[in-house]
Structure 1
Amino acid sequence: MKTFEWLLPALFLAASAVAFAGPAPWYQWRSVTGATVCAQTSPGPAWVRLEQPFVDPRCQRRDPSSSNSKTRSGK
């Protein structure tokens, strides 16, 4: 029984690390037929991810922490 005394604290430590994780980003995906959807993961092999990440499931608000969302000077 002593060999499992570390198991419960280790499980609590692992669970607490997950609590600090942020939400997964949302992306716009375009199919080969031209249809677009907003999803966190690829809808399938015939879909291509577009642009930078979004913070909402409607793909309306861009993720401000994304390096691609910063404005460029055009030079």
Structure 2
Amino acid sequence: MYRSLVTLLGVLTLTSLAIAAPAPWYRYQSLATGRFICSQVDPGPHYMKFSGPWTNAGCRP
């Protein structure tokens, strides 16, 4: 019983890793200064999404 549970958990973990993908990058512009940043997460209400999604941290093709 214990061995089959551990095996099932291992298979489920490996399956979830196989379908995982990196998060996309977006270029955001500051509403206060006009500067641009490249981020995978929304930096907050003082930024607007400018372009994306990108596949790299430089927000370039």
**TM-score, normalization: structure 1?**
0.62
Q: Which runs of 5+ in 1 are unaligned?
A: 62-75
Q: How does 1:28-47 map to 2 (within 5 A)?
A: 28-33=27-32, 34-47=34-47
Q: Secondary structure at the match of 1:9?
A: helix
Aligned residues: 59
- For residue 39 of structure 1, what is the amino acid of its counterpart? S
Residue in 1 that maps onto 2:7? 9
Q: Taking every aligned residue pair, what percent have the same amino acid on both sides?
A: 31
Q: Which runs of 5+ in 2 are unaligned?
A: none
More strand by share: 2
Structure 1 residue ranges, 4+ long, deviating more than 2 angstroms after superposition: 4-7
Taking the aligned partners of 1:51 and 1:59, their CA distance within structure 2 comes to 8
> 1 or 2 for the larger relative contact order (CA 8 Å, sep ≥6)?
2
**TM-score, normalization: structure 2?**
0.72
Residue in 2 that maps onto 1:55? 55
Taking the aligned partners of 2:22 and 2:37, their CA distance within structure 1 comes to 19
